[in-house]
Amino acid sequence: MSEAERPGGRREGTGSLAHRVPDLAALELLLAVARLGSLGAAAREVGITQPAASSRVRSMERQLGVALVDRSPRGSRLTDAGVLVTDWARRVVEAAAAFDAGARALRDRRDSRLRVAASMTIAEYLLPGWLLALHAERPDTAVSLLAGNSAKVAELLLSGEADLGFVEGLSVPAGLDAVVIGRDRLIVVAAPGHPWARRRRPLSPEELGRTPLILRERGSGTRQVLDAALGGLARPLIELSSTTAVKASAVSGAGPSVLSELAVREELASRRLVAVPVEGVPLRRDLRAVWPKGHRPTGPARDLLSLTRA
């Protein structure tokens, strides 16, 4: 009953992002201001009144502790800091747009003109981007998404519950035609503090095989590829049930791991994980679009397919 639950001390560091980052509506408003050069015009565009926009921007500036726009009776322009903040805001908004595209596809399970079945990795990391691009070209296309492993994708296609599929893996499921649309690679990663992170000589397969790694559980696609590449030798340090858990564990320095390049792209870019060179281990796997044998994709399926070919 006493409210001593909250240690009243410093809330430095972890104040929960949401308290320090303006909400999406505010960020969108800021982008509109940047584009239109006027608070009032931006307000109109996002469907609120001018005083509301004024207040929103002001409270953003208070929250961030930085002046973002130069107001003048002739309009508003971004300050230097505002330009930077706006660009960072754009990235947040784009991630939100990808979220929305994915969520929308997930919701419209039925009655969509294009039903896509995809493996988890592709659904997670590639599909939202494709959906955004598709929306830009063919705004009317309603897409629905079903996710599963290769076998599930094949089943959905063959039973007519999906029009187009995407799988990663070594072989094409029976009864399907396929085209390679890209390539994924498993890479060895370690936290920056790990000895391997500074390594310049490539790891040998034996070395990789005898070192305990943070891995997905047996049976997962990634684990299968790794085991096959090493000849069933992969030795687990910990086994976790999701790619995310594996990543988090690797980032925290628990040990090295082997993960899809797609899954760790961001961590590599921000240097929270480091790629470790390896030699003599075939860790590539093809990404393929698939469809029922003979039934060449047409209409919206063809549109989407043409977007995915790099």
Instruction: Establish if 75 lies at the interface with DNA (CB under 7 A).
Output: yes
Span near DNA by CB under 7 A; candidates 36-44, 155-163, 229-237, 261-269: 36-44
Instruction: Establish if 149 lies at the interface with DNA (CB under 7 A).
Output: no
Alpha-carbon span 161 to 153, nearest angstrom:
10
Partner that binds at residue 50, options DNA, a copy of itself, none, CB closer than 5 to 8 Å by kind? DNA
Q: Which of residues 50-69 bind DNA (CB under 7 A)?
A: 50-52, 54-59
The only residue of 107, 183, 218, 296 in contact with a copy of itself, by rule CB under 8 A: 107
Smallest separation, CB 75 to DNA (Å)? 5
Alpha-carbon span 249 to 237, nearest angstrom:
11
The H or E element spanning position 127 is helix 127-137
Which tokens go with 182?
């890209």
Beta bridge partners of 203: 278
Which tokens go with 279?
């030699």
Alpha-carbon span 21 to 94, nearest angstrom:
15
Letters for 269-298 (x = contact with a copy of itself by CB under 8 A, - = none) are: xxxx--------------------------
The only residue of 91, 183, 210, 284 in contact with a copy of itself, by rule CB under 8 A: 91
Of 40 and 129, the one with the shorter C-beta distance to DNA is 40
Is-contact 216 240, C-beta < 8 A?
A: yes
The only residue of 13, 73, 219, 232 in contact with a copy of itself, by rule CB under 8 A: 13
The only residue of 36, 41, 52, 132 in contact with a copy of itself, by rule CB under 8 A: 132
Alpha-carbon span 118 to 224, nearest angstrom:
18
Alpha-carbon span 110 to 33, nearest angstrom:
38
136, 200, 173: which is closest to 290 by C-alpha? 173
Looking only at the bridges linking them, the beta strands covering 164-169 and 114-118 are: parallel
Partner that binds at residue 76, options a copy of itself, DNA, none, CB closer than 5 to 8 Å by kind? DNA
Q: Which of residues 230-259 bind a copy of itself (CB under 8 A)?
A: 242, 244-245, 248, 251
Smallest separation, CB 22 to DNA (Å)? 8
Q: Which of residues 190-219 bind a copy of itself (CB under 8 A)?
A: 192-193
Total length of the chain: 310
Positions that interact with DNA (CB under 7 A): 1, 3, 23, 25, 38-41, 47-52, 54-59, 71-76
